[in-house]
Amino acid sequence: MAHSSTTKQSNISLSNCGYSKVLDIISNKWTALVIYAMENGKIRYGEMLRRVEGISKKMFTQTVRKLERDGLVQRHIIPTVPLSVEYSLTTLGETLLQPMKELRQWGRENYTQVVEARVKYDSAYTPGSHEAGSIN
Amino acid sequence: MAHSSTTKQSNISLSNCGYSKVLDIISNKWTALVIYAMENGKIRYGEMLRRVEGISKKMFTQTVRKLERDGLVQRHIIPTVPLSVEYSLTTLGETLLQPMKELRQWGRENYTQVVEARVKYDSAYTPGSHEAGSIN
DNA sequence: CAGCATCCTTACAGATACTG
DNA sequence: CAGTATCTGTAAGGATGCTG
């Protein structure tokens, strides 16, 4: 797409980048974990709270509502007493699973290198460590 | 997915999920755009500010420093007067490009559906809009 | 059980000004 | 040119209490 005169590459903006749109969907702290909790099928509210470690009721509800609004999650109310609610991925939601898994895979394979890079960076730039071989 | 009652799948936690680790790296507002700006090779500070629309000097520096610390970006100083700095992805950084592109691709292909889902959701739950057959 | 409402604390991010 | 420093508003996230 030849865009304009002197520019060689098109600009990158938050508004035209497909990636940013995805991030808008899945970049919240708990969103990915909530999705993963549903990757094997339906799961109930209470079990979700137990499965996803550390999530609060508020954050779960907020997260899953957003996903529901985005069409990625289905909410299924079962009128028992007291009532039950089951959550599951929609067809659209399932299509997101694959790219997310690849990112997760990247994390599993490469996170060690990232941690090592951090240690190296920190030891190089921390005041007090003048490039001597000291690891904190 | 026949797991009823006491069958335990392992819990999902922020600390053991590879995905969360990746998110910790790339989920910031500008990170992905900065990475994309480097996907075709070296790019200088000034050009980066122009390419990534709306980013401030502060946010760029902050973002790129974090990426450098994580070992995904290289910083190359050229001692001109005044000085120049070029940024580029490391080998590790390039490996991240592929899964990120797939996510971006998902966004391009499916974002419309997400938007439609939102409209539908909002019209269903907004006070004042009874389901008297408008959308759909 | 499955939520919503409220308060509060921090992290994120923008604007602006200054420096080697 | 390529940053750093500070100030400030906003939004995310956590803690807690109440409800059908």
The distance (Å) linking the CA of B58 with the C1' of C13 is: 9
Query: What's the rounded Cα separation, in Å, for the pair A102 and B99?
Result: 6
Task: Please name which of B87, B15, B43 lies closest in space to residue A8, comparing C-alpha atoms.
Answer: B43
Provide the residue range defining the domain that includes B58: 19-130
Nucleotides of C under 7 A from a protein CB: 1-6, 12-17, 20
Please tell me the pTM assigned to this model. Answer: 0.86
Please report whether residue A65 resides in a domain: yes
Residue A14 domain flag:
no
Question: Which of B27, B54, B68 faces A14 most closely, judged by CB atoms?
Answer: B54
**DSSP element (H, E) containing A75:** strand A73-78
Residue A9 counted as domain residue = no
pLDDT, tens only, A54-75: 999 999 999 999 999 999 999 9
Pairing relation of β-strands A84-89 and B73-78?
unpaired
Task: Flag whether B35 is in a domain.
Answer: yes
Chain position carrying tokens 């509800």 = A61
| DSSP 3-state of B54 | coil
Residue-wise pLDDT tens digits, A70-98: 999 999 999 999 999 999 999 999 999 99
pLDDT (tens digit, 9 = 90+) per residue, B27-86?
Answer: 888 999 999 999 999 999 999 999 999 999 999 999 999 999 999 999 999 999 999 999
Does the residue A81 lie in any domain? yes
Q: What is the DSSP letter of B76?
A: E
In 3D space, the residue among A60, A109, A64 whose CA is nearest the CA of residue B19 turns out to be A109
In a domain, A71, yes or no: yes
Residue B49: which of B57, B41, B38, B39 has the closest Cα? B57
Tell me whether residue B8 is in a domain: no
Could you give the CA distance from residue B123 to residue B135 in angstroms, rounded to a whole number?
8
CATH code, domain with A83: 1.10.10.10
Give the total number of structural domains in chain A. 1
Q: Is residue A67 part of a domain?
A: yes
